[in-house]
Structure 1
Amino acid sequence: MKSWYSKDFKVGVLGGGQLGRMLMQEAVNYDIKLCMMDKDPSAPCSRFSHEFTNNDILDYEAVLEFGKDKDVITVEIENVNIEAYEELERQGKKVFPQPSVLKTVRDKGVQKNFFKENNLPTPPYYLVENKAEISKYEQEFPFMQKMRVGGYDGRGVQALKTLSDLDKAFDAPSVLEKFVDFEKEISVIVARNENGEISHFPVVECQFNPEVNLVEFLFSPAQISEAIEEDAISIARRTIEALGMVGLLAVEMFVTKDGRVLINEIAPRPHNSGHHTIECNVTSQYEQHLRAILNLPLGSTKMLRPGVMVNLLGEPGYEGNVKYEGLEDAMKIPGVKAHIYGKAQTKPYRKMGHVTATAPLLQEAVDKARKVQEIVKVKA
């Protein structure tokens, strides 16, 4: 079998966005050749990948054709043609995360049932096929409605506090998740290779933008008790084991006001809640993903320094050719590192980059990150 460091060894990645771009930056260190496919000819990976295929990752034939000369195939986003992905696995290709994992994750209803069947704690929920069925549960409001498929980055999620909110509800198959009286939202990123070796990153705390349900700040380490930390790590490790998954898994969780830890959602790929690992940990989430899918020893996840990640989102009211205001001023702050994703066009709340601020103490990093958010504006 061909070695991962052979000159003709190729890793195929379905998707060419910012996660793939940061994956490439780590792949270069090991001379791993990443070949990307994305339907956007100007996707963030288009200029830098070993090979770039401009085609649709939802197209059956395109995915099959793309995968035929790749030694390992992975994804940058879950929304790919599952049937083609399965066929590549049947043909003997190394396909990680496995198609069975993507099938479980991409439908939030299937995902919720998976948690329940495997005794993984998650908020109470109901499954509905359409808007009309929601009224059957009027005695149990409030809910968070989540479309079963197609939602991402805050899209496909709607708060339903009373029956009067039904006019805002999606008329689509959905999960009705009971509102959780939570104190914090946290995340644990965990990896597993083919040998069954599992490694987790330290728990992080996420702060969301309430308007668009996107992560605005991420704090590492999370300010939680040792008992909650141990519980969150145990849940993340049990989840990846139950999936039998090879690759990297982000497990997003709620910490309730009475001290329980409940799974919100999972993502089987590098994740927004792991960007800080580039600066803050011995091994980044991107290197760990490569190690996992290539069945290499998993790297140390030890935290080197506290850090805060702030997403650079497109400003409301601006759409067009991107312009970054205040970025150079932010770069003058010691310990601030900017990552620009290479997207030529901005629009309101689009993820255009992120900044990680590090410091010897977490509060110092928080202060730097809040300063960055004040002075950096993504406009057109």
Structure 2
Amino acid sequence: MNYFSSDFKLGFLGGGQLGKMMLYETRKFDIHTIVMDSSPDAPSKISCNEFIQGDLMDYDAVYNLGKKVDILTIEIENVNVSALTKLEEEGVKVYPPTRALRIIQNKAKQKLFYVDNNIPTADFQRFAYKSEIEDSIDNGGVKFPFIWKATQFGYDGQGVKVVRKLEDLEDLPSGECITEVLVPFKNELAVIVARSANGEVKTYPVVEMEFHPEANQVEYVICPARISDSVAKKANEIALKVSDKLKHVGILAVEMFQTQDDEILVNEVAPRPHNSGHYSIEASYTNQFEQHIRAILNLPLGSTESKVAGIMVNLVGAEGHTGDVEYQNMEEILKQDGVTPHIYGKKQTRPFRKMGHVTIVNPDIVKAREIAELVKNTIKVISQ
């Protein structure tokens, strides 16, 4: 099929920053795109050929978009899968396939998938209601501390909490959830796997993630991870196994824990470009956004090797600031060599909202990390 400067249409469910960065690549290839998002001010709106305002969980809205395009993809998991299933039955190509998306959308199903396929993961229990956790605690089934996760609709640190005492459960939603044993990990790692429609597979180098202790969001992504070759090999093999069992198409980000004894446990996955791969825009031969487009169009996958060490710093809204956004000290970080900011186009900031990221590239990973720390401490995302 001729995708370039043609009548071919590629649809996106979701118009956030991930969609915006994928659209940089479709514009490079002159591929006609249609984006649907619930917000009239979605970041992707400025970069697509056609924009539709619509609810991603609404059956008719998703179905009607799918009938306008040749291939439909996502930039967020929270979409109406029933509509996608109907579109697949009618011959529309949906990537990732709905079979994989149904598993990933629900964290309980995702954990059961790991168990069924002998993929190492933290021990967990599934609960229909939060009240059942209290009963389990009383009976000795769940022990403090543990991780509580809502099974659906969590993102950017939302829907996840460390529970150290009974009172920590009070303000949490009452619906379906899981509890996980709190893993005393050494590192949080991630591997991005690219799989094309014809089954070609490539992996990006293992990255190391440093999280904000309060917001449960990634603060730094470090590539390559500062781990041994044997641990990197193990992480890569497990990521490939997850990919093989899911049979996804596109980008799959596999987040993992490296335990104190260097075992690898899968935490969760995302079937789309991911925060852990943003560094690749500047540091890799083929960035994750172009790779996702190549994969879903069944084009040859590009090189996943890094040109240089890269570190990504998330730019999130400062605590105590809500309203029209202002980026302070941007000029100061731009004075540093190898620093590239990416501003997502969200006009309103709020505490811990992802507003952009900065990539730092340097031949020396230690030097790159030092500059990343300077960037993090210098730039401020505040309200006017």
Global fold match (TM > 0.5):
yes
Distance 2:175 2:60 in 1: 28
Task: State how many pairs are aligned.
Answer: 379
Who is 2:166 aligned against?
163
**Match of residue 152, structure 2, among 149, 153, 178:** 149
Are positions 1:362 and 2:362 aligned together?
no
Q: Once the 2 structures are TM-superposed, how far is the Cα of residue 169 of structure 1 from its aligned partner?
A: 4.3
1:167 maps to amino acid: E
Distance 2:172 2:328 in 1: 37
**Match of residue 195, structure 2, among 192, 196, 201:** 192
Who is 2:290 aligned against?
287
Who is 1:94 aligned against?
93
Maintained 8 Å contact 1:145/1:169: no
**Match of residue 258, structure 2, among 255, 263, 266:** 255
Q: Once the 2 structures are TM-superposed, how far is the Cα of residue 72 of structure 1 from its aligned partner?
A: 0.6
SS at match of 1:239: helix
**Match of residue 310, structure 1, among 313, 318, 325:** 313
Give CA-to-partner distance per residue, 1:294-327, whole Å, 9 cap, x none.
Answer: 0111110011100110000001111111100011
Distance 1:144 1:294 in 2: 38
Distance 2:95 2:47 in 1: 22
Who is 2:59 aligned against?
60
- Over the matched positions of the two proteins, sequence identity in percent amounts to 46
Give CA-to-partner distance per residue, 1:217-272, whole Å, 9 cap, x none.
Answer: 11110011111101110111111110111111000000000110000010000000
**Match of residue 298, structure 1, among 290, 298, 301:** 301
SS at match of 2:84: helix
Q: Describe how 1:198-213 pairs up with structure 2 within 5 A.
A: 198-213=201-216
Q: Once the 2 structures are TM-superposed, how far is the Cα of residue 34 of structure 1 from its aligned partner?
A: 2.2
1:12 maps to amino acid: G
Range with bigger deviation, 140-149 or 11-20: 140-149
Who is 1:40 aligned against?
39
Q: Once the 2 structures are TM-superposed, how far is the Cα of residue 131 of structure 1 from its aligned partner?
A: 2.0
2:162 maps to amino acid: A
1:344 maps to amino acid: K
2:205 maps to amino acid: P
Who is 1:14 aligned against?
13
Distance 2:369 2:288 in 1: 21
Q: TM-score, with normalisation over the residues of structure 1?
A: 0.98
2:340 maps to amino acid: K
Q: Once the 2 structures are TM-superposed, how far is the Cα of residue 129 of structure 1 from its aligned partner?
A: 1.4
Are positions 1:116 and 2:115 aligned together?
yes
Who is 1:49 aligned against?
48
1:294 maps to amino acid: L
Q: Once the 2 structures are TM-superposed, how far is the Cα of residue 164 of structure 1 from its aligned partner?
A: 4.5
1:333 maps to amino acid: Q
Give CA-to-partner distance per residue, 1:4-60, whole Å, 9 cap, x none.
Answer: 225111110000000001001112222222211101011101122111111111111
Q: Once the 2 structures are TM-superposed, how far is the Cα of residue 69 of structure 1 from its aligned partner?
A: 2.1
Distance 1:251 1:120 in 2: 12
Distance 2:248 2:25 in 1: 22
Distance 1:157 1:4 in 2: 40
2:341 maps to amino acid: A
**Match of residue 379, structure 1, among 364, 372, 382:** 382
Who is 1:338 aligned against?
341
Distance 2:108 2:240 in 1: 21
1:242 maps to amino acid: K
2:359 maps to amino acid: T
Distance 2:231 2:167 in 1: 36
Who is 2:245 aligned against?
242
Maintained 8 Å contact 1:129/1:173: yes
**Match of residue 272, structure 1, among 275, 282, 288:** 275
1:324 maps to amino acid: Y
Distance 1:305 1:180 in 2: 32
Distance 2:126 2:356 in 1: 35
SS at match of 1:286: helix
Give CA-to-partner distance per residue, 1:121-140, whole Å, 9 cap, x none.
Answer: 10000001112211344333
